[in-house]
Structure 1
Amino acid sequence: MSQQSHDGRSRILLAGTPAFHRDMRWIQLARQGLVFVPVAKRDCTLITGRTADVQAIVYQAGARAADTLAFLKAMAARQSDLCIILVGRNQKPDTVAQFLRNGAFDYVNWPCSLSRLTDSLTSGLTNRQIFLEVRNLSGDLATANQSLAHERDTLKQFNQRLAGLNQLTQALARSLQPEDVVQALFTGVPALIGADLIGLVRTNPEHVWTWSKDGNQEREQALNAQLLGRLGRAPQRVTAGATTLRLVGSHPMPSIRSDDALLALPQPDAHAMHDIPLAIGPHAIGVLHVQRAGSQPFTEDEQQLLATIGTSLSLTLRNADAHQDLHDMALRDPLTGVFNRRALDEPLMRELKAGLRYGAPACLAILDLDYFKTVNDRLGHTAGDLVLRELASLMTDTVRDVDMVGRYGGEEFAIILPHTSIEQAQPLAERLRNLIETHAFDVEDGTVRLTASIGIAEVCNPAIASVEDWVNAADTALYHAKAQGRNRVVVHAPVPLAPVQAATLCVAA
């Protein structure tokens, strides 16, 4: 790898506090061939300006995001080509996304495993090397343009492509949603090389996108079948009337025996077709397929251009996945994995508006475990946590895919049931109540049996004009269920209340 230390090992600045420098992880990584140079954060920018053999910076991000952003902008102003990896405590998803947009290659939550650091450094150094090669290629082209006058037109066309490549990579870098990434790709690639048919297949998450210049569904369907066939999947039909940008498949693909399986895909026989493997370091993540009408082959320059696009696309998809993961974490209850209370606000408002404007039916059910405090008091909070996790799984498996399950707090859960009337919601709630009553919840010392009370409120109700009204109505129904003896489903008035039943709790050895 270029710009290494004199002994052939990668040289990396370790910018942080003395305690950060002394962490055993750096000693272990040094045994793998990396050379770490400890520096104070305030000296980092100065040192990078006079040290030619530094390849990367591992920067200890502090609590103030503004300080980290200032460092990234200072490095960008110097047009630094160093790989910057930030290491710090958990940050908000928007803050991490801002770090990535301002030049950071990765953000590693600290403390972390040795393997996480190794993967980040390996991927960062590899992709930096690719960047340097592309930049050197641009310099070679500029020299050739001056020395070879008869190739000026060819070089002019290639320079235009480099400008287009720069625009495309910038558009990809700005995209943090997969659909936005694909839209930028399908807009930029045809303008660069005159492609007529493009396909993108990913393995995790599993998707296939196709695009054709003339919107030919048969050609796109054939490409869809080809891409899925290489991965051992049956093709998906393209829906009629779809736009030129289509999501063709979004279901699980088969497991691949090794990360090299995608990289080893056979190239098409026709010179007018080209496959670009997508990878992050040693890990294959998909394939980009580009095709031209007729038999006009892709030149070596165009293939190099597509390889560069593939590298940028791989990084962009990785960043989009990281952004999505952080976004999902912010909306999930850390104990049970279901949505948290904040995540339910938007679907509640959406269903409320649909109900008020169009009369669309929807129900909200609030469920509360009966005498759950007894579990915590007798068996401990660890057992209580196990019960809540198993309850969340039971609820998620019972409701439909379109329904949303969320934890409102403690042992209280909410279920949003779109397109569901009271007559449909009540049997579902009864079935869920019965499943809970008959279910044995596994804990460390045996099993626990519990019951649940459920209150239901329908959105189409003259008394409901806001999300707060709707939640209060369901909560009132839950209160009545508790008051009538628990272990029952109560629908918000005017639906008659169910007869009294006794609640039970027992702990099995």
Structure 2
Amino acid sequence: MRLVVRRLGRVKLMLIITAISVVMAVILNLLISYIFNYQTPLTQSMLRAAIIPLIIAPVVSWYLLGLLLDLDKLEEEMNKLATYDDLTGLYNRRALFKSCHLLHRLTVRTKETYCVVIIDLDFFKKINDKYGHAAGDTVLKSFGAILKKVTRDCDIAGRLGGEEFCIYLSNTQQDQVGPIVERLNDEIQNNLPKCDGTQIHYTISLGVAENKPGLEMSFEDILNKADIALYAAKNSGRNRMVIYSDELGDK
């Protein structure tokens, strides 16, 4: 019903409901007149039957349709809040994990390789301390827009929390991640956010983990490996990408 209201619009649907109400009232009146043999002129009988629904139906339907549209809008907003991060417009943590789990199960069946990339904005606290939290939000919003631009439709990008983000790169091997990261860095440098007219420079550190066909690992396992690689990138100077290896896992 909500889909019908959304498609036809409030005014058009109100007119349709009113017309149906009038027709049904006229038919019902004629039927009653025929059954009980009321001797009323046809024109007068039809006019009398049409007056009441013609007055009541538009008022009632307009009000009820308005409530239905408000409910539909509220439900849509709640679904959006439950799915997307309100600052960056990316998937929030819950929706990110849900989508990644679904894709992980799909790749197990199709035997495709995918990569998980965890991204951390370097020294983000210093940005907040120097420029203020509003500037920090501007940086996060700008980076979220860049992630949307760089990732493909088949990929998933989301905010894990704070200044940490995650990308699920479908059908991608770890040696294919480098060009994506290069483009990501280029977009950052070409779209530096501004605070009070001052450009805010920032860099990112990235940890990458690959899931190959035949490996009996969960999405959490791959995410944990990407997290280990991220910490290696941060501990080795930041502003770089590190791909997970068994040597990192042994440390």
Task: Give TM class, smaller chain.
Answer: 0.7 to 0.9
| Deviation per residue, 1:14-57 (Å, 9 max, x gap) | xxxxxxxxxxxxxxxxxxxxxxxxxxxxxxxxxxxxxxxxxxxx
Cα distance change on mapping 1:426 and 1:379 into 2, 3 Å? same
Cα distance change on mapping 1:145 and 1:316 into 2, 3 Å? same
Amino acid at match of 1:397: K
The aligned residue for residue 393 of structure 1 is: 145
Residue 469 (str. 1) matches residue 245 (str. 2): no
Q: Measure, in 2, the Cα distance between the counterparts of 1:144 and 1:451.
A: 79
Cα distance change on mapping 1:128 and 1:461 into 2, 3 Å? closer
CA contact (8 A) 2:119 2:230 kept: yes
The aligned residue for residue 45 of structure 2 is: none
The aligned residue for residue 134 of structure 1 is: 20
Out of 463, 468, 485, which is 2:237 matched to?
485
Aligned-partner SS, 1:481: helix
Amino acid at match of 2:105: K
Amino acid at match of 1:431: R
The aligned residue for residue 416 of structure 1 is: 168
The aligned residue for residue 177 of structure 2 is: 425
The aligned residue for residue 143 of structure 1 is: 29
Amino acid at match of 1:443: C
Paired positions, count? 216
Q: Measure, in 1, the Cα distance between the counterparts of 2:216 and 2:183.
A: 26
- Higher normalized strand content (fraction of residues): 1
- Displacement of 1:405 in angstroms is 1.5
The aligned residue for residue 448 of structure 1 is: 200
The TM-score normalised by the length of structure 2 is: 0.72
> What does 1:190-205 correspond to in 2, within 5 Å?
none
CA contact (8 A) 2:108 2:213 kept: no
The TM-score normalised by the length of structure 1 is: 0.38
Amino acid at match of 2:121: L
Q: Measure, in 2, the Cα distance between the counterparts of 1:404 and 1:414.
A: 8
| Percentage of matched positions with identical amino acids | 33
Aligned-partner SS, 1:440: coil
Aligned-partner SS, 2:153: coil
Q: Measure, in 2, the Cα distance between the counterparts of 1:430 and 1:477.
A: 18
CA contact (8 A) 2:112 2:213 kept: no
Aligned-partner SS, 1:457: strand
CA contact (8 A) 1:463 1:469 kept: no
Q: Measure, in 1, the Cα distance between the counterparts of 2:204 and 2:137.
A: 16
The aligned residue for residue 435 of structure 1 is: 187
- Higher normalized helix content (fraction of residues): 2
Aligned-partner SS, 1:449: coil
Q: Measure, in 1, the Cα distance between the counterparts of 2:247 and 2:191.
A: 28
> What does 1:63-142 correspond to in 2, within 5 Å?
131=17, 134-142=20-28
- Displacement of 1:425 in angstroms is 2.1
Q: Measure, in 2, the Cα distance between the counterparts of 1:461 and 1:384.
A: 39
CA contact (8 A) 1:433 1:489 kept: no
Note the residue ranges of structure 1 that are not aligned, 5 or more in a row.
Answer: 1-96, 106-122, 150-280, 282-307, 497-509
Relative contact order (alpha carbons < 8 A, sep ≥ 6): 1 or 2 greater? 2
Note the residue ranges of structure 2 that are not aligned, 5 or more in a row.
Answer: 36-57
- Displacement of 1:450 in angstroms is 0.8
Amino acid at match of 1:135: S
